């Protein structure tokens, strides 16, 4: 397919079972890595009265949380989720049920982490919502040990809609943050002293990555006005994120801008949205590279060889 034709083709127009299957493996593997790396059970040493379930989880009775907020229960949640994620990643028999239960446990896991934090960090939310999206679509039709019995033809939309939905979720997460920053802080938030102030605050209070924050900025005050302007440009890119859904050119620029922004926040503010970076895989036309040469009937994925009169030939070339 030549580049000119590709530029007029909507993203994920070539997506099929392999694309959605690969995204399933990737997203669930990110969760698996997080659960294996985080000392989740250590939250049990914190006083129970400091726990405040966030959002709709506050509707769950306190007695439910009291049962969970001990080391044994937290370990059980962590390792049960790990086992279920492994089953869903490799696509064993019963993988869809494992995905459903694992997703429910991920909600509880994220609710407990945020309930102790006193601050609703949105880093994992797009990844969590993307996991929910997987449940309703045929994500086990490829890259799975046990493939479900599907009909000979499956609508292409069944593989493309979840990818578009994940893109929308990720883009809106940036848009909401950018709009909130602009509406709550106004143009003053982009002043020359804002980024240096946040950097020194991060050096003492955001110690997760232990990079020291941007203390070095105080030796270069001539950079401060430029940081404010760059911060404004980044915020405008965040607000305009939904344009990446429809424009190939804007999406390429947006990806570079967001990746640079995340690296900058890591170096200056000790904040790193690694989950968002991992989810950016859905912002690439993955199907163009991993789907095999195939025959496609318009609107359907054809298993077998369709009649030449009704088929469209698409190749990876």
Contact in structure between 268 and 195 (CB atoms under 8 Å): yes
Structure confidence at residue 119 (pLDDT): 62
Structure confidence at residue 310 (pLDDT): 34
Structure confidence at residue 189 (pLDDT): 85
- pTM to 2 decimals? 0.85
pLDDT tens string for the chain (317 positions)?
445 554 557 899 889 999 999 999 999 999 999 999 988 888 888 888 888 888 888 888 888 888 888 999 999 999 999 999 999 999 999 999 999 999 999 999 998 888 886 666 678 899 999 999 999 999 999 999 987 765 556 788 899 999 999 999 999 999 999 999 889 888 888 888 888 878 877 777 665 666 655 677 777 788 888 888 899 999 999 999 999 999 999 999 999 999 999 998 888 888 889 999 999 999 999 988 888 755 444 444 443 333 333 333 333 33
Q: What are the phi and psi torsion angles at 12 (to 5°)?
A: 70, 15
Domain boundaries defined on the chain: 17-155, 170-284, 293-317
**Beta-bridge mates of residue 302:** 153
Apex 275 CA angle, 102 and 15, nearest 5: 80
The DSSP string of 278-317 is HHGGGGS-THHHHSPSEEE-TTEEESS---TTT-EEE---
Structure confidence at residue 297 (pLDDT): 45
Whose tokens are 């019995």? That residue is: 149
User: Among residues 251, 242, 287, which one has the least CA distance to residue 12?
Assistant: 287
Structure confidence at residue 302 (pLDDT): 43
How far is it, in rounded angstroms, from Cα 143 to Cα 21? 6
Structure confidence at residue 75 (pLDDT): 95
What are the tokens at 257?
Answer: 């801008």
Structure confidence at residue 152 (pLDDT): 55
What are the tokens at 182?
Answer: 């602009």
Per DSSP, the three-state class of 242 is helix
Apex 85 CA angle, 33 and 24, nearest 5: 85
């Amino acid at each position: 397919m030549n580049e000119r034709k590709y530029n007029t083709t909507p993203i994920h127009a070539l997506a099929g079972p392999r694309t959605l299957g690969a995204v399933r493996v990737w997203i669930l593997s990110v969760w698996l890595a997080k659960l294996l790396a985080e000392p989740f059970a250590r939250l049990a040493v914190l006083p129970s009265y400091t726990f405040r379930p966030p959002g709709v989880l506050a509707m769950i009775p306190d007695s439910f949380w009291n049962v969970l907020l001990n080391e044994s229960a937290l370990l059980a949640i962590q390792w049960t989720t790990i086992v279920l994620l492994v089953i869903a990643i490799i696509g064993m028999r019963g993988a869809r049920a494992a995905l459903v239960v694992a997703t429910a446990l991920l909600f509880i896991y994220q609710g407990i982490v945020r309930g102790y934090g006193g601050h609703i960090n949105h880093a994992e939310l797009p990844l969590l919502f993307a996991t929910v999206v997987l449940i309703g679509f045929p994500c086990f039709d490829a890259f799975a040990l046990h493939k479900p019995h599907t009909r000979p033809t499956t609508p292409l939309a069944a593989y493309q809609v979840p990818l578009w939905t994940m893109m929308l979720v990720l883009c809106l997460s940036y848009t909401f943050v950018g709009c909130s920053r602009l509406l709550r802080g106004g143009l003053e938030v982009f002043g020359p002293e804002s980024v240096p102030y946040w950097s020194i605050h991060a050096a003492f209070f955001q110690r997760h990555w232990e990079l020291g924050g941007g203390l070095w900025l105080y030796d270069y005050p001539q950079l401060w006005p430029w940081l404010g302007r760059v911060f404004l440009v980044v915020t405008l890119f965040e607000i305009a994120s939904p344009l990446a859904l429809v424009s190939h050119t804007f999406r390429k620029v947006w990806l570079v801008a967001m990746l640079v922004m995340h690296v900058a926040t890591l170096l200056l503010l000790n904040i790193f949205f690694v989950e968002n970076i991992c989810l950016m895989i859905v912002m690439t036309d993955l199907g163009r590279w991993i789907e095999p040469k195939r025959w496609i009937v318009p609107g359907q994925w054809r298993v077998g060889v369709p009649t030449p009169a009704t088929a469209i030939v698409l190749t990876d070339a």
